[in-house]
Amino acid sequence: MSKKTIRDVNLKNKTVLIRVDFNVPMKDGKITDDNRIVQALPTIRYVLEQNAKVVLFSHLGRIKTEEDKQKNSLYPVVQKLISLLQYPVTFIDETKGSKLEKAIKNMKAKDIIMVENTRFEDLNNKAESGNSPELGKYWASLGDVFVNDAFGTAHRAHASNVGIASNSKDAVAGFLVEKEIKFIGEAVNNPKRPFVAILGGAKVSDKISVIENLLNKADKILICGAMAYTFFKALGYEVGTSKCELDYVDYAKSLLEKGKDKIILPLDTVVTKEFSENAEGIIVHSNEIPNDMMGMDIGPKTIELFKKGLAGAKTIVWNGPAGVFEFSQFAKGTNEICHILAGLDDAITIIGGGDSAAAAINFGFENKFTHISTGGGASLEFLEGKELPGIAALDDKCCCCCK
């Protein structure tokens, strides 16, 4: 997959529309994690350096009611952007109309405008998430070049990514999307070997296609998190009150048969009687989970097993935590995986977004990995080998035979 990037087009004196992913977590009107904003800064700064005008688009949350609009304005996000960028940004509190058009028309070189939450267009007819042809064409008409730097929405065909790209003369990738394509795409399609995948999280059903795709490409797949209990059930183990998808037990069994020695399951499990941070945890063998207890984390024998499984690996992709890392006493497995990966100096280490990315950042490993993806759902679909509409809509790089 070879897409044009902002380096491949002339941006000087142009009005550049940039789709960023500022869909950041909020609590009481305040941003609790600004990583997605931080990751967009290199692209924004580069466009400014080209003496261009910058118009930013992003969504925030889901908009179904007027109350949702009040809670999900991008205004506080703009204030955080100004603080991080150390540069003025004009916020336009509408998604279309004369106020926005006039503001863009009056822009000077190196000005930045942030458009209000694109999902405000979803309130009545889902024009944004439904990729309304009229809306995509309208937004595209506001600028000269479109840059998609929102990998987190690349698996969705929305008006603010596919719609604008389809109606722009130049539609290219920003630095963040370029990096995501490079690391996740190359890791799956052309990995340095041995290639090991670590898959955790809650559900086998969420990662069926990922497991199937990686069984054909990875040398080993380490399974952890709540999804492991469905595999235990497939082996005939009792899993107590642990999360288990009974509808997928037979499927998990078929994956184990197909994967043979490739799939590595936990040897031991930290269990407790209740889902609580203060619950007392004990370590049991994976086939000895008591009927009245639930699995919350991997145990020390599994950590050592995983450490051996990762030794010598040259490419590692990790998606999904090893346990309920939100509770400190059940965070050890996830934390130890971070430590193991951080110590593999010669390996390409990639975290595929979502909870595992949040855990790595929270535990202080933000700069210890080759790449931490900003897109949970997009990363999963990339790992499945699917084409992402937001990336497919961008201009292809011309091959040498076209010159």
62 is catalytic: no
Taking Cα atoms as reference points, which of 97, 91, 88, 83 lies closest to residue 38? 83
Specify the pairing of strand 268-272 against strand 294-298.
antiparallel
Helix (H) or strand (E) holding 362: helix 354-362
Sorted by sequence, the CB contacts under 8 Å of residue 36 that are 6+ apart come out as: 20, 21, 22, 23, 24, 152, 374
Q: Which amino acid is at 338?
A: C
Spatial separation of the C-alpha atoms in residues 26 and 72, rounded to whole Å: 9
Among 126, 203, 301, 307, the active-site one is: 203
105 is catalytic: no
Among 61, 185, 377, 385, the active-site one is: 377
Among 36, 53, 96, 233, the active-site one is: 36
β partners of residue 372: 351
Spatial separation of the C-alpha atoms in residues 330 and 275, rounded to whole Å: 11
| Cα 4 versus chain centre, distance | 21
Taking Cα atoms as reference points, which of 80, 78, 101, 100 lies closest to residue 89? 78
Among 323, 354, 376, 390, the active-site one is: 354
β partners of residue 145: 16, 170
β partners of residue 92: 115
Beta strands in 34-134 (DSSP E): 53-57, 90-92, 112-115
Q: Which amino acid is at 75?
A: Y
Contact 315, 195 (CB under 8 A): yes
Round to the nearest angstrom and report the end-to-end CA distance of the chain. Answer: 19
**Phi and psi angles of residue 315, each rounded to the nearest 5 degrees, phi first:** -135, 125
Beta strands in 43-163 (DSSP E): 53-57, 90-92, 112-115, 145-148
Q: Is the peptide bond before 194 cis (omega within 30 degrees of 0)?
A: yes
202 in helix, strand or coil? coil
Sorted by sequence, the CB contacts under 8 Å of residue 363 that are 6+ apart come out as: 331, 334, 335, 338
Residues carrying an active site annotation: 36, 203, 354, 377
